[in-house]
Amino acid sequence: MICPVCNESMIVLELNKVEIDYCTNCSGIWLDKGELALLYSVDESENDLQKLFAESSSVNEKSYKCPLCRKRMKKIQFNNSELVIDKCPDNHGLWFDKGELEKVLTLKSTASSQKILELLKDMFSYNKSQEAE
């Protein structure tokens, strides 16, 4: 998978048995459709989680293209917060800029999302020690 922001190849990371795509260049994260629900360990469809996101037309952030279909992604706002992420119009997945997935996991917190947050923190400290070598 190619990063929609910098067009670099992303690497696959495993978070609690969920495979996510991560860009080592910009620290962005791509979640395929359904993976956010998996991170929250929600068994049913993503519908309840999707309700937390509302389409936002008042955002001036640059928009990116879906890494799967290359269509321009929509800006969606998380739970009336300042947090805005990108979503493929054909629902292929969600794009989180650096730190945005952590914010979502913090704003809507469950036992499972807490665990993911810890894993993310571990990974990023791991990346830092690699850079120092």
Positions touching Zn ion (CB under 5 A) are: 3, 5-6, 23, 25-26, 28, 66, 68-69, 88, 90, 92
**Contact (CB, 8 A) for 86 and 108:** no
Instruction: Supply the minimum distance, in Å, between the C-beta of residue 71 and Zn ion.
Output: 5
Instruction: Compare residues 67 and 113 and give the one whose CB is closer to Zn ion.
Output: 67
The least distance separating Zn ion from the CB of residue 31, rounded to whole angstroms, comes to: 12
Q: Closest separation between CB of residue 109 and Zn ion, Å?
A: 27
- Give whichever of 91 and 110 is closer to Zn ion, judged by the CB atom: 91
Nearer to Zn ion, 20 or 88 (CB): 88
